[in-house]
Structure 1
Amino acid sequence: MHIRSLLVVGVILLGIGACTGKRMAGQRPVKHGADTVALALPIGETVFLEREGLHVTFSKVLEDSRCPQGVACVWAGVAAVEITVMGTYTRPQTFVLATTALPAKGYGTKQTFNDLQLAMAGLEPRPMADDSASIHRKYVLRLLVSGGHRSR
């Protein structure tokens, strides 16, 4: 019975190891630059950046008060999202990133995790003037990750 348990655990660990590539199922590819990784991360999905040893999850949209396309607004508005990041040997941490820094709300355009900088490059799609279906919007976070690249 003990050997059977060890075999089951071994198979599970092999399966987990197979999932640690650059992206997970349904994930959009990442683009690596010399010092920066640009990625498009759909809401609710996670990507593993192998070179950085970093898992990033786009958890939710906290606010999207951006001016709708085709409308003249006094203020451009702001989009704020929540992401969860976890290094290979660290616990997960949750951060808020926004299109505009608003310290009173705790919004910043950049956050630091370990020796990496995470910056919000955008959120798609932008609101529309007649946005009655906004609750069903399929958001995609544009994220830049820079610094701390390890050669492997």
Structure 2
Amino acid sequence: MKKALFLLLVGFTLVGFAQSETPVEVPLILVRIPAGEVAQIGDASVRFVSVLEDSRCPKDVTCIWAGRIRVQIEVGIKGKPAFQKEILIGQTKPGESSDRTLYDSDDVFLKVAAVSPYPTSEDKGNRAYAVLISTQK
């Protein structure tokens, strides 16, 4: 009986040590917002205002400069005045920021993940742009 209790105690001890804490990453949630549209993300409303510049090198072409895209995004938070932010993805010039953060609070973190579609050499310039916003809490 003592041997059985000893083995049981050793078994529980080993199982307890085997349960190490593995950090779990919060999944990345992406919200797609077409140009001119508004999306409600928690207490924030995000509107994709416009594309200011799209000089990205088409994906099926070899370019000297990778290019960039600049977009205008409007963010409204309940109880606060809305504000617009210019986001730059790609090559930056001296003095320009590559920060894609739209809004950061205790409740939500909003960041521009990408702008689609990515240009190709066959594009005729008529693109239905959409911005991908990543949201985390």
Report the TM-score, using the length of structure 1 for normalisation.
0.63
Query: Which whole-Å CA distance do the structure 1 matches of 2:51 and 2:95 have between them?
Result: 14
The verdict on how the C-alpha distance between 1:74 and 1:111 changes in structure 2, with shifts beyond 3 A counting, is same
Q: Which residue of 2 aligns with 1:72?
A: 62
SS at match of 2:90: coil
Contact 2:104 2:110 in 1 (8 A): no
Matches of 1:129 and 1:105, distance apart in 2 = 30
Q: Against the structure 1 CA distance between its residues 34 and 55, is the aligned structure 2 distance closer, same or farther, given a 3 Å change threshold? A: same
Aligned partner of 1:96 in structure 2 is 86
Letter in 1 for 2:116: E
CA contact (8 A) 1:39 1:144 kept: yes
2:34 paired residue number: 42
Contact 1:68 1:127 in 2 (8 A): yes
1:11-33 Cα distance to aligned partner (Å, 9 max, x none): xxxxxxxxxxxxxxxxxxxxxx9
C-alpha RMSD over aligned residues: 2.3
Classify 1:85/1:128 alpha carbon distance in 2 versus 1 (closer, same or farther; 3 Å).
Answer: same
Matched residue, 1:127? 119
Q: Which position in structure 1 is the counterpart of 2:53? A: 63
Task: Tell me the alpha carbon deviations over residues 64-94 of structure 1, each in whole angstroms, 9 at most, x when there is no partner.
Answer: 1001121011221101111000011111000
Distance 1:113 1:79, change over 3 A: same
* Cα distance in 2 for residues equivalent to 1:78 and 1:109: 14
Instruction: Give aligned-pair identity as a percent.
Output: 25
Q: Which residue matches 2:74?
A: 84
2:127 pairs, out of 137, 140, 143, with 137
User: Where do 5+ consecutive residues of structure 1 fail to align?
Assistant: 1-32, 148-152
- Classify 1:124/1:112 alpha carbon distance in 2 versus 1 (closer, same or farther; 3 Å): closer
**Aligned pair count?**
111
Which stretches in structure 2 are left out of the alignment for 5+ residues? 1-24
When residues 114 and 124 of structure 1 are mapped into structure 2, their CA distance, relative to the original with a 3 A threshold, is closer
Give the CA deviation at 1:146.
3.0
**Alpha-carbon deviation of 1:122?**
1.2
RCO greater where, 1 or 2, for CA within 8 Å and sep 6 or more? 2
